[in-house]
Structure 1
Amino acid sequence: MSRTMAEVNRLLKKTAGLINKDTEAPFQGEFRVGVDLGTADIQTIVLDAAGNPLAGYMDWANVVRDGVVVDFFGASQIVREQIRRAGARLGISIERVTTSFPPGTDSRISTNVIEAAGLEVAGVIDEPSSVAQLLQLDHAAVVDIGGGTTGTAIIEQGRVVCSRDDATGGRHITLALAGHFGMPYEEAEEMKRTSKDLALCRLASPVIAKMADIVHGHIAGHEVPAIYLTGGSCALPGFLEVFAAEFPGIDIVMPSHPLYLTPLAIATYSQVSQPCEERVG
């Protein structure tokens, strides 16, 4: 049985409120840590043993491209600093973390970054499997709108049985906006992330329709009753309505904060670590 989205949205709201907060909040007890090396960002999420968010850090970073780390040193330094900040906030020593990898790529690409940051890899899981476990999905599709690609994983009896990934992602939305407004890519990216103007979604609708077409191809023959969306680009106001219109008869489910869904799922999958008696920082 699926975990209710209300429960997941509660955890996501809590996570969103903690992102990049360094206020000291001493914690005692077992904890879980997940690190997500995304195409557009790197995130570290710390949970207590019961799965409640304690700390979260995110840096926008173009260090990963299509599952390949293009700036190994930069990625490891970001992870190291996020872990340092999390440890200082909570007064704990973080030595072991769980990370993830896109389906079809070598998991060592992610684990090598974690080890270069001076951490032990406690576990590794492919991204859609982590989301499927968090949501306790039995039969559905998980669609990840990444920075450069749209990826679909078919879930059967709680397991990923098929996954595909094709070009067209958040970067393509940004390019469409940059072209329309005649502005630099970086300005268009900032507009995409922060604007609440529904007109942006109308401008990006051909790109979103292309994403939907990709997903149609991915799910063909699987008869999934529901599609669960993840990835920061889904948060573009109006995205859900445009995307869902392409899938009559299929439930399209989007969490309240899709940017944090996969990182939260990775942390939830992580094994618990024992607390350290001495305060860090």
Structure 2
Amino acid sequence: MKKDFLLSSNDQLEKFAGIVNGDHPLKKVTPEEKIKVGVDLGTSSIVLTVLDSKNQIVYGAYEYDHAVQDGIVVNFMESVNILRRLKAKAEKVLGRELTTACGAIPPKTGEKSAKVVANVIEETGMMCTGIEDEPTAAAKFLRLSNGTVVDIGGGTTGISIFQNNKLIHVIDEATGGFHMTLVLGGRYKIKNDEAEKLKRNKEKEQEVYSVIKPVVEKMAAIVQNMGAEINDPVIVVGGATNFTEFTTTFSKVLKRKVYKPLYPQFVTPLGIAMFDE
């Protein structure tokens, strides 16, 4: 596997991170031009992405939340209110209305979960054009025709295996970033909100990772248990993978090379928007 196979994706992710942080100029789009919108209702944050008709990045923003648990919306109105704020901000910046959006759910979380996500989107005034599963959205952004995508979010680990552009196997396990937070909270005897802040503190990363490493090893073991079904390359995405040693731990358990894009928390949200046709 060539080392540069993620270069194109990394360029896009770096640009998107710059837009989110206000460090990168926005792409101009005409009022008549088709735009695509993606909504990622995550356990730790809600991300809104906007692409043009050629899947070039136009805009992005996110807001932390507590409205989703283990990939399932548990506070409908909080999700709606956050998305309304993100939508209003985007419309003000872009000077046009967002009329459609695609959403996503962890794999195998069911039709009811998909319906709730669609309802959140439509409650903000956008028409929901579809609900995809998260690892499939990630694979679309990565342009992955063969390989294994491990999408580790706040509440779940979703694993999708692709062969010749077809999804051949998918599973979802209730282990994610929130479980890291619980382990940290137990270790330091602090509340979940404090543990979440500690988990995101880059200055404390080495100390934090030594505590949550067993959770990462459990995630890798879930993938390993799929045995010969796993296709290379194995790519990890999602906010919970944002640790320097994450892929090292995964590779050690899997006994194979594991790749991680830059800003892995934005891979799935960008892929979701690509489905808004």
After TM superposition, is the score higher than 0.5?
yes
Aligned to 1:252: 258
Say yes or no: does 1:269 pair with 2:271: no
Aligned to 1:276: none
SS for the counterpart of 1:109 is helix
Aligned to 1:123: 130
SS for the counterpart of 1:246 is helix
Moved over 3 A (4+): 1-4, 20-27
Say yes or no: does 1:156 pair with 2:158: no
SS for the counterpart of 2:265 is helix
Aligned to 1:14: 15
Assess if the C-alpha contact under 8 Å between 1:144 and 1:150 holds in 2: yes
The one of 204, 211, 233 equivalent to 2:240 is 233
Aligned to 1:92: 96
Assess if the C-alpha contact under 8 Å between 1:4 and 1:135 holds in 2: no
SS for the counterpart of 2:228 is coil
Q: CA deviation at 1:180?
A: 2.3
The one of 177, 181, 184 equivalent to 1:174 is 181
Aligned to 1:139: 146
Aligned to 1:57: 61
Assess if the C-alpha contact under 8 Å between 1:193 and 1:236 holds in 2: no
Assess if the C-alpha contact under 8 Å between 2:47 and 2:60 holds in 1: yes
Assess if the C-alpha contact under 8 Å between 1:99 and 1:121 holds in 2: yes
Deviations 1:51-78 (A, max 9, x none): 2222111111121223321111111121
The one of 70, 75, 87 equivalent to 1:71 is 75
Assess if the C-alpha contact under 8 Å between 1:22 and 1:89 holds in 2: no
SS for the counterpart of 1:142 is strand
Change (3 A) 1:155 1:43: same
The within-5 A match list for 1:171-210 is: 171-196=178-203, 197-210=205-218
Q: What RMSD in Å do the two structures reach over aligned CA positions? A: 2.3
Q: CA deviation at 1:23?
A: 10
| Amino acid in structure 2 at the alignment position of 1:162 | H
| Amino acid in structure 1 at the alignment position of 2:262 | S
Assess if the C-alpha contact under 8 Å between 1:145 and 1:151 holds in 2: yes
Assess if the C-alpha contact under 8 Å between 1:24 and 1:90 holds in 2: no
SS for the counterpart of 2:229 is coil
In 2: Cα distance, 1:24 partner to 1:129 partner: 29
More displaced, 71-80 or 178-187? 178-187
Change (3 A) 1:223 1:145: closer
Deviations 1:62-106 (A, max 9, x none): 212233211111111211211111111011111111111221122
Unaligned runs of 5+ in 1: 272-281
Change (3 A) 1:23 1:247: closer
Higher RCO, Cα 8 Å, sep 6+? 1
| Amino acid in structure 1 at the alignment position of 2:264 | P
The one of 181, 197, 220 equivalent to 1:212 is 220
Q: CA deviation at 1:265?
A: 0.8
Q: CA deviation at 1:24?
A: 9.6
In 1: Cα distance, 2:6 partner to 2:275 partner: 18
Tell me the TM-score normalised to structure 2 length. 0.89
Tell me the TM-score normalised to structure 1 length. 0.88
Identity among equivalent pairs (%)? 33
Q: CA deviation at 1:123?
A: 2.8
